[in-house]
Amino acid sequence: MPEQPSSPPRARLIFDPAEFKYDFGPDHPLRGRRLISLMDLLETSGLWQSENEQTRLPSRAATIEELSLNHTAEYIEAVQRLSVVDREALSPDEQRELEKLELHYGFGEGDTPALPDMHNVCSLIAGGSLVALSAVMGLPEGGTFSSEEDRPLHVYHPAGGLHHAWADRASGFCIYNDISVAIAHILQTTEAKVLYIDFDAHHGDGVQKSFYDDPRVMKISFHETGRYLFPGTGDVLELGSGLGRGYTVNIPLEPFTEDDSYNEAMNALLHPLVTFFAPDVIVSVHGCDTHAWDPLTHLKLTLRGIQKQMKMAHQLAHTYCQGRWVALGGGGYDLYRVVPRAWSMLWAEMSDQTLPKELPAEWITRWHPEWLAVREKEEAAQEVMGKAPAADDFPTTFMDRLEDFPAQPRRWHINEANHLTVALVRHLLVPS
């Protein structure tokens, strides 16, 4: 069992089993199984107990009015219409009308297929992130607490982090942009300044677009360069517009970037940028598709590097924001070996618990066979992406074994390219 904090931590977790329905099917990278395996690992490791009301924050679906803070009325109506559960029961004309809607609003059989009941499921995810941010800001939408000391400082919503959705279009596995909805609510109801840090391998283009001209939101994104990866945005020179110029910070990193180079970029940029901005609250997205085993990206981080992102966000929250911090999930497509370990690690960090060394035997027994069943597909995908298959062993420890991650060829050249990118960002955006 993990070592528990000496006093009750002011951290809460938002989780609803209905969020498992955010699942694009067995042949799609984004599956609800990643949340199921995460919650199972949190329970079996003793890091979180579902019956402990002190660590769970009740949530709800976002209302149409709240969704409209970021999304157009036409788009919300289209999502509702496309949420039909049984398309086979529709007439051919009705089916053709839905197909036209799909094409117009970014849905289809590729990245983001329309899901049955998706309006309700996605509203629940958007509501979870809105409740999370409202809770740490002390707003009524975040719930009522017996005392100020009982109000959470940190809230974790692993189903959140759908950063690609635009105001009027689905994109990149994302339908409603829960992050933008939550931040827009805070901007509407308070005078707070929001720091948004995105650690996902993919650039958070939807959130950037939502607040590109808004100086109340500083957006900092560490991601794989868009030269080789969806969505193709996130260049250093995307700086914001109007009054928001200088409040969009993009750090595009080279493919095959490893822990040390990534951490160097974080250490060089975050503290001076955050000192300048002086935020009231931090919202961070912890997509673990930066991991070397992820089948969709080309970065080469281990869980040690990913853990440093979490520790940095935690430190920044206490240094600059009186602890106010909301952490969201995001991407991550190695559903069995990476996502549950990385996101359990995030909860351990937020709740000040010591991470166990070994994974629970019962969790391994439950999930190892399922991983074996899909392993051939995963390795085929890795080969298509130009990756060698990862270690054959299913992990038995929370942290990675470093021997499973040999040094990358051209390491010096990759590190030097990243160093030059960081230098350019500092020149453009860090006050002297």
Active-site residues, by number, are 164
Distance CA 253, CA 237 (A): 14
- Other CB atoms closer than 10 Å to residue 118's CB: what's the count? 23
Look-up of token digits 């069992």: 1
Instruction: Bin 37: left if φ > 0, else alpha if -120 < ψ < 50, else beta.
Output: alpha
Who's near 397: CB < 8 A, 6+ residues apart? 357, 358, 359
Q: Say which amino acid occupies 129.
A: S
Strand partners of residue 154: 11, 325
